[in-house]
Amino acid sequence: MRVVSLVPSLTEAVARSAPGALVGATDWCTHPSGLDVVRVGGTKNPKTDRIVSLAPDLVIANEEENRAPDLAALRAAGVEVLVTEIRDVPQAFRELARVLDACGVAARPRWLDEAEETWSSLPPPARLTAVVPIWRRPWMVLGRDTFAGDVLARLGVDHLHTAHPDRYPRIPLAELRACAPDVVILPDEPYRFTADDGPEAFPGLPCALVSGRHLTWYGPSLAEAPRALGRALRAARP
């Protein structure tokens, strides 16, 4: 198989499970470190001509991360495109299995079983409320029907915009502060919130800086996510 991945978390999953299959990946595909493949641009602006020139057997995409016109252009050029849809943790495991099967992985990888077992054996969590910004200028937060929202819900976090009609609504900062959540969760992607860029906007509110890879990626990082996110949330509580 010759595979091009346009989704960073799926790149990591394929690279770990089918060594040698990947021939191309996006500029944002940072895991595994040292991945030596042709870079084909960003998730939102892939270089379709470069992808076609790699003569892939399969291009892996995601309905949220990649644009439909780019995928249509690849199909028009005769490239097979597999599009995933992942809105919650159980769906992530199903789609990961489908992707790996399409990439010719004969046996279910051990990391996938370990990750699924980790999520199926979580202890009942204590509940807390949160707002979860994913961008600033303008401020945007997690809304309804998101993978990251489901991850947090399974860890005991009820984010306060889960019923919003938009999946990633723009909410004025004053309104976010007025929500008075138990914690503000600040991931390092897609916007890179840091200790010096983000918490200062929420004076008096506990802030948890978390790994975007553990919050939003579906792949080998799923096995680590409950522990890593739980540690960050505990550290933020007063």
Domains of the chain: 3-118 (3.40.50.1980), 128-236 (3.40.50.1980)
Report yes or no on whether pTM surpasses 0.85: yes
82: CB partners within 8 A, 6+ apart: 58, 59, 60, 61, 98, 99, 102
> What is the rounded CA–CA span in Å between residue 39 and residue 25?
5
Q: Report the candidate in 164, 139, 159 with the shortest Cα–Cα distance to residue 149.
A: 159
Residues of the chain with pLDDT under 50: none
pLDDT of residue 236: 85
Residue 63 and residue 10 in contact, taking contact as beta carbons nearer than 8 Å: no
Instruction: Encode pLDDT of 219-237 as tens digits.
Output: 999 999 999 999 999 988 7
Please state the separation of Cα 192 from the chain's center in Å: 14
Residue 37 and residue 61 in contact, taking contact as beta carbons nearer than 8 Å: no
pLDDT of residue 170: 98
Instruction: Encode pLDDT of 170-228 as tens digits.
Output: 999 999 999 999 999 999 999 999 999 999 999 999 999 999 999 999 999 999 999 99
